[in-house]
Amino acid sequence: MSDPSYVLVVNAGSSSLKYRLVDGETGEAPADGIVERIGESSGRLKHTVGDAVHTEERAFADHEEALQAALDAFEEHGPSLADAGVVAVGHRVVHGGERFSKPTLIDDQVVAAVEALVPLAPLHNPANLEGIAVARRLFPELPQVAVFDTAFHQTMPPVAYTYAVPRSWLTDHHVRRYGFHGTSHAYVARTAAAALGRRVEDVNVIVLHLGNGASAAAVRGGFSVDTSMGLTPLEGLVMGTRSGDLDPAVHIHLHRSLGWSLEEIDRLLNRESGLKGLAGANDFREIERLRAEGDEAATLAFDVYCYRIRKYVGAYSAVLGTVDAVVFTAGVGENGPEVRAAALSGLTALGIEVDPGRNAGPVSGPTRISSDSSAVAVLVVPTDEEYEIARQALAVVRRQ
Ligand code: AMP
């Protein structure tokens, strides 16, 4: 009989807690769920086992009550966590700063270090810490592993992560580019290499993670050498509600000339910009629908979105020198053939040629959408961040 390999993956947000039971070896996931509106007067738990969905509407006072309710749902609706032989809890942690370049077994020192990084991720790290604290209380006997969104990008060279600002900003205040979506980029780069029948060590890949948040990564031989997000997840591609790249003087102009507060500008750039700011909708399906109706704002939003992707593909082709594959992933990347075609059209000079028929076809698992004559393979690879967290957590536990 093989060793047990199930990991309970926990992704704690400020008012939600997502969980999934995942086999860290195979990615098989017998159950998952989410508790939403934690701390509000009415919340909701949704627990899914195969095709069966169980919901519970009530108040969940805090993350402890939410995780306890999830454990009760496992008891009541299955599968039994005890029978599965869960070997670890894997936590998604957004910001690991310069300290964490690998998944890490959690102890009091690690918790203190993640706390010290709160100023770099004020919205995310406190919620992640809450999830860790609760899981440590409810599973005192299980190893807890932190898997950081930033860790994969810690291999970026100084030339890629350094902003051209006074050096003390970096040395004293850790102002530099970190990058995010690391678990997705790592998983997708590895899966793409396998789909090409190559070792990840032998290929250069540009990964385009296009979800509600979006980022590009240049991955050389399995190591991230550049990525589009920076100190925070605001930099880079156009996103659902975030602006992406911007002249840093825009803040100054809005503050000085119009008297807007920094808090307001921060909110507008993170929550009211991107596709939503340009066309009034952050859901890409809505942008596509409006564009099909001839809506001018949605058409421009679509074009700006694709143009920004194209610029990063060009930049990362130059960074990598040779590119074996361009890979689309996440909600828009996996489901948006029009974006894929528009972003990569006319790039035959870079050896990139999308096949219209393949691009329009169904995606199930890694799918090649480039033409046979394309020097660079263009792939769609569905991402699986929970599997990657489980895989990494399992590896940490097995090394103990
Ligand atoms: P994610 O953050 O990976 O869940 O991706 C969310 C984004 O994917 C949203 O903007 C959705 O509108 C977009 N999305 C999901 N399904 C589709 C689809 N069938 N066509 C276009 N965009 C989609």
Mean pLDDT of 291-316: 98
Confidence of residue 10 (pLDDT cuts 50, 70, 90): very high
Strand order in the sheet with 104-105: 52-58, 43-49, 31-36, 17-23, 6-12, 86-93, 144-148, 104-105
Asked whether residue 213 is marked as a ligand-binding residue, the answer is yes
- Ligand 1 pocket, 155 CB below 6 A? no
Asked whether residue 181 is marked as a ligand-binding residue, the answer is no
Cα dist from 152 to 26, 64, 383, 394, whole Å: 21, 30, 15, 17
User: Is pLDDT of 244 > 70?
Assistant: yes
HEC profile of 324-368: CEEEEEHHHHHHCHHHHHHHHCCCHHHCECECHHHHHCCCCCCEE
Distance CA 65, CA 167 (A): 45
Please tell me the least confidently modeled range out of 26-30, 120-124, 218-222, 261-265: 120-124
User: Is pLDDT of 287 > 90?
Assistant: yes
Give pLDDT, residue 161. Answer: 98
Confidence of residue 1 (pLDDT cuts 50, 70, 90): low
**β-sheet bridge partners, residue 52:** 49
Handedness of CA 28, 389, 203, 352 (dihedral sign): positive
Asked whether residue 185 is marked as a ligand-binding residue, the answer is no
For the record, the structure tokens of 351 come out as: 């050896």
Mean pLDDT of 15-29: 96
Asked whether residue 285 is marked as a ligand-binding residue, the answer is yes
List phi, psi (to 5°) of 239.
-125, -175
Mean pLDDT of 64-74: 95
- Looking at the chain, the whole-number percentage of residues with pLDDT higher than 70 is 100
Per residue in 166-182, pLDDT (tens digit) is 999 999 999 999 999 99
Give pLDDT, residue 3. Answer: 83
Helices (H), ranges, the chain = 63-77, 81-84, 108-116, 125-138, 158-161, 167-173, 182-195, 249-258, 262-271, 274-279, 284-292, 296-320, 330-335, 337-344, 356-360, 385-399
- Ligand 1 pocket, 335 CB below 6 A? yes
Mean pLDDT of 43-53: 96
Give pLDDT, residue 14. Answer: 85
Assess contact for 9 and 27: CB atoms under 8 A: no
Mutational test site, ligand 1, from 284, 359, 380, max ligand atoms within 8 Å of CB: 284
Asked whether residue 11 is marked as a ligand-binding residue, the answer is yes
Give pLDDT, residue 82. Answer: 87
Q: Which atom of ligand 1 is nearest to the CA of 275?
A: 10
Give pLDDT, residue 91. Answer: 98
- Ligand 1 pocket, 289 CB below 6 A? no
- Ligand 1 pocket, 283 CB below 6 A? yes
Mean pLDDT of 56-77: 95
Mean pLDDT of 186-201: 98
- Ligand 1 pocket, 313 CB below 6 A? no
- Residue nearest atom 4 in ligand 1 by C-alpha distance: 331
Active site residues: 149
* Of 39 and 122, the one with more pLDDT: 39
Give pLDDT, residue 120. Answer: 87
CA of 298 to the centre of ligand 1 (A): 16
Q: Which atom of ligand 1 is nearest to the CA of 284?
A: 12
Per residue in 348-395, pLDDT (tens digit) is 999 999 999 999 999 989 999 999 999 999 999 999 999 999 999 999
Mean residue pLDDT of the chain comes to 96
Confidence of residue 2 (pLDDT cuts 50, 70, 90): confident
- Ligand 1 pocket, 336 CB below 6 A? yes
Q: Which atom of ligand 1 is nearest to the CA of 287?
A: 12
